[in-house]
Every structure is written in structure tokens, then in C-alpha cells.
Amino acid sequence: MSFLNKQKESPEFLNNFLKYKRYIESGAQTSTDETYYDLKTLFRFVKLFLYDNNKLKTITKAEFKVIEIIDVTIDDLGKMRRTDLSDYMCFLANTLENDSRTRNRKLASAKRLYEYLEVNNMISSNPTLNMECARTDKRLPVHLSLSQSKQLLSNTINSDVKHKIRNYAITCIFLNCGLRLSELVGINLSDLKIDNSEKTIRIHGKGNKERILYLDDAVCEAIEAYLEVRPKIGKDNPDYNALFLSSRYKRISQRAVQVIIKNELNELFEDLDENEKKKYHTHSLRHTSPTLLYEENDVNIFVLKKILGHESLEATQIYTHVSNKKLKELMMNFNILDREEQT
């Protein structure tokens, strides 16, 4: 749920900060919403730390989640010191059982808020300065193999669910284009060009940056099949231009797409235990596209960077480490005894 729907439950200065991040800094909606939930956790801790410190030692996750933050003030945040926020990081690890990546993200959100407050002269000093992130192990992205991807598509189009043609198009675009969830949901009819002369799709990425991706025949066929059954809605509908629609003739939500893909993946991996199934989700399909392009088609990493809409090459380099397939092939075909001596 968007932070905009929670404004009555939040302090005004928090609402202003989130609007600044979303509309002035052009932050992505999903990123801003994530920041809201991160800061909600911080505000709950601050409230307990300052006014009911003893409860921090005994509070449960369920009790912590219902603490209201509307009465947390800028002065409360200003009272926190670096050592107090170090206690916050420990609370995240021990009581809330957040992993190192989650803790680092929440620390980054806190740093950004305190920086905003300091720059706007709302607090005298920033206690998050020089706070270090926790060490994290580099995680390789979870992805589907080529055969699993084909099976997923086959299962989807051959299913008996009501919206299988739409769901097939969604899955096909994910696997072939490597989109983020927010990017897929945000596709408009006006972003498509699938006539005989050009087959492209305009993607609205992070920070309102656009990129153009080229579509192969299979993706175009999936989209065209869906357009034939897509509900006909009038221009008076605010979601008239949305490519993918829900049963209520609204732009399909991110949550709905997550459920669709989760159900498809659960069927594909029906033999896996529940913990293993949890590793696969919509972002696994985004990871699948560049992984297969790199492994199966030898696509250059700079091309992958452009396809995925990454700002830095570092974010793309992880796909060169996903599999040892190339290394295995290279070393198995190299034999020093077969090499002729160079003179």
C-alpha cells in the first residue's frame, strides 16, 4: 500500500519527507513506499526507547507492529544519539530478526531522513553520520533454467485459470525482457509498437528513466493474443491506457502480479519444500532473462546493462558469476598436451 494512503497515521514531517523523495527527487513509488515502512520501524523504536525503554527487552514482533507513530516528533528524533541508533541496529537483528541486508536498507533510510532534517535545519546534528553498514555475503540471484522457463510458459498457457492469456503475456514479458515488477505493471498501450516495421516496448524505469527494448516474435504474439481478449474500456476510465488490466478494469496491481507468478512457480516447483519455493518470485523472472542471455547467447555485459536499465555496471556483473557453465566448458576443452609449442 502506498505511503500516500497512510498519511493520516504519520507525522506531517515524515509525509513531507516522503513526498520530497517521491516527487522532487523523482524516487520510484516502490522505493518510497519501502522507505516509509523502514522509517515506521525506526519511529516505533524511538518511541519505545525514549518513553518505555524497559519494554524493548520483552516486546514481541506482533506487539511492535501495532505501535502507532503519529505522535513521534522531530524533537524525539533529535534526542537520539549514535549509540542509541546502534542499539536500534541490534534491536533489528535480535528482536525483529532482520538479516544484514534488511538492516543495511533500514539504516540507509534513517540516514536519508536525518540528512533531510539536518539540511532543512530541523535538527542540530545528524547522529547517523559515519554509522557503518553490516557485512553481507554476496548472494547470487535465484533464476530459472532454460528448460524450467519453457515449462513455466507451457504450464501457464495450458492452465484452466480464467485469465491465462493475460497471465501468459505477463510471464512471457518477464522472462524475455527482464523487467522489474513496477516496470511491467506500468506498461501502457502507447508504449507498444508491434507492427511489421518495428517491434518495441518503452519501459519507464527507476527515476523516470526510459529505455526501449526490442521484442521477439514470441513476445509479440503473446501480447497480440492478450489484446484480442483485453476488456474494452472507454477513455473515461483513468486506466484506459494501461496494458494489463484486472477483473475490475483497473491497471493490474503489483500485488496481483506477485500472486499470479507465485501460483505459477508453485506449480512448476510442486516437488520442492515450502522454504525452497519461497526463493522464487517475480524478481526471479527478472534475473532469469539476463542469466540466460549471458549463458546461452553470449550477450555482452554492457548490452545486459542497457536491457536491465542498470545505472552502474557493478549491478550487472553479478550475472557473470551466476553459473560456472562457461568456465566448465572452457577448462574441459583445454588440454595442455594438445597445445602446440609456439616458437
Number of C-beta neighbours around residue 201 at 10 A: 23
Q: Catalytic: 226? A: no
Q: Catalytic: 135? A: no
Catalytic residue among 44, 143, 286, 305: 286
Q: Catalytic: 116? A: no
Q: Catalytic: 101? A: no
Catalytic residue among 199, 206, 250, 262: 206
Q: Catalytic: 321? A: no
For the chain, the maximum distance between any two Cα atoms, rounded to a whole number of angstroms, is 81
Whether the CB-CB separation of 38 and 13 falls below 8 Å is answered with: no
Q: Catalytic: 21? A: no
Catalytic residue among 44, 180, 251, 287: 180
Residue 14 burial by CB count (10 A; 0-12/13-18/19+): exposed, middle or buried? buried
Give the residue numbers marked as catalytic: 180, 206, 283, 286, 310, 319
